[in-house]
Every structure is written in C-alpha cells, then in structure tokens.
Amino acid sequence: MTKISINDLVKWKQEGRKFATLTAYDASFAQLFESQEIPVLLVGDSLGMVLHGATSTLPVTVEDVAYHTRCVRAGSPNCLLLADMPFMSFATPEQACHNAAQLMRSGANMVKIEGGDWLIDTVKMLTERAIPVCAHLGLTPQSVNIFGGFKIQGKEQDKADRMVRDALALQEAGAQMIVLECIPKELAARITEVCDIPVIGIGAGNVTDGQILVMHDMFGISANYMPKFSKNFLSETGDMRKAVSLYKEEVEKQLFPDEAHTIA
C-alpha cells in the first residue's frame, strides 16, 4: 500500500469512491490490515472496552492510546493513523495541545476528539499548531453518562439540525475529517453532503464517504456485546485476511452496511 494522506481521502470523496477503515491496537493486526490495503486505522479509546474489559471508554488514558499508537504505527507504516483523545484529555485547548502532541509523537497523523461546537477553539488551536483533527459527532461514547446509555443520537429534528450546524462549524474551524456514530441514515447523508471533508460512519448507514468498525466486532470476537450495526465477517470467510478483504469490498461497493445493519 502506498502512503495514504488526507489528500487521498478528499480526492476519493470528490470521486464518490467509498473506503473502509478499522480500529487497530497492535502491530500484528495493523500489518494484516495494511496487507489488505485498509487505508485508515484508528487507535480508538474503544481499547478500554475490547482490550481492557472496561464497561466504558472513560478509564482510558493518553498513555494507553500513545502506547497502542506506537504499536500500530510499527505494523502499518503507510496508513493514515488516527489516535483518539481520551476522556478529559481535551477539556481545555491547552490540555488538548499538550496531550495531542504526545499522540502525534507516538506516530499518529491525526487526533480524534468527541464533541460539538464547544470544541471550535480547540480545533483551531490544534490545527494552527499542525495537529490535524477528526471531529466525532453523534453517539460520543465518552458522554455515556450524559446520554444515560449508549443510545442512538440525532433522531429529533432540532438535535439533527444542531448536528449539521456542529459539523459545519467544526469544518470551518479546521477539522479535516468527521466520524458520525449511531445516527439516522438520513442525517448521516445530510452531513456527508454538506461537508467538503471526508465523513466516516459507524452505525450511520451506507451513505457516508467511509465506514469504520471496531476490529473485534468485525471478527465477531468482542467480549460481551455485538452492536446491531456491526457484522461478523470472519464467520462468513473463516480466515482473518479474507474477512478484512470482504469487509473492504462490501464497503467499497456500498453493500455494507445493508438494511439489516442500519439502525435508523
């Protein structure tokens, strides 16, 4: 795989070419994903749930994400590597700069932060200081205690309109990518349409520019819980490389997620 940059993703968006992405946490899987030409990997704070067995992402630290970012970068030198900013690591713009720098030094190409327009100053400060930002909207798992559970977001018209405004404001502030999690397909289509930057969905239908799955869900090996929008590609193929290749193919052809894996 040739080295992937944000410019490739913007070009693919303009061409209407869909792309598959995955979470990754270690060098061996990162190498396997690179061998199957997965262009974008995310060291998600989901590591708290799928690696550490926690019931939420809240206990994850910057040191945890930095450690796994180094591992993934070692296995996949060419992917565009996103690293998650964990809970409370970006409570102020200054804190965000300090912690994001640690993730960039660990090998990330971009950091991902959960939240809406309250992050505008943070996004501006990071991008002005050469740290690319991916904004994460919808079901932002770090807010599980505000939401009262892992629940679909943006179903009401006013909340949907607000999410569209947030996406545009974050793009205006300098965000170069957006992740949309667990929102209605129509809302995901609206945001993908109005934004010039690439939009990646999870539980948001097959309408976004890219898709992401937690790798353990894609292999059907997550400890306690399998989200309805996820699919076990390993059971169909019986081989990890083939599972990744099938996932990539189905995303690129917009076959995944199908109606059965679309939640609203």
Residue 33: which H helix or E strand, with range? helix 27-35
The window from 29-37, 38-46, 158-166, 244-252 that contacts ligand KIV (CB under 6 A) reads 38-46
Minimum CB distance to ligand KIV, residue 63 (Å) = 16
Token readout for 3 is 């080295």
Q: Interface mask (CB under 6 A) for ligand KIV, residues 60-89, using x and -?
A: ------------------------x-----
- Set 181, 236, 249, 252: catalytic member: 181
Contact present, 89 and 95 (Cβ < 8 Å): yes
Q: Which residues contact 238 (CB under 8 A, 6 or more apart)?
A: none
Q: Which residues contact 49 (CB under 8 A, 6 or more apart)?
A: 55, 56, 57, 223
The two most distant CA atoms of the chain are separated, in Å, by 47
Smaller CB distance to ligand KIV: residue 15 or 106? 106
Among 34, 45, 166, 209, binds ligand KIV (CB under 6 A): 45
Is 94 catalytic? The answer is no
Alpha helices in 36-91 (DSSP H): 47-50, 62-75
46 appears as a binding residue in the annotation: yes
Does the protein bind ligand KIV through residue 179 (CB under 6 A)? Answer: yes
114 appears as a binding residue in the annotation: yes
List residues forming the annotated binding site for 3-methyl-2-oxobutanoate. Answer: 45-46, 84, 112
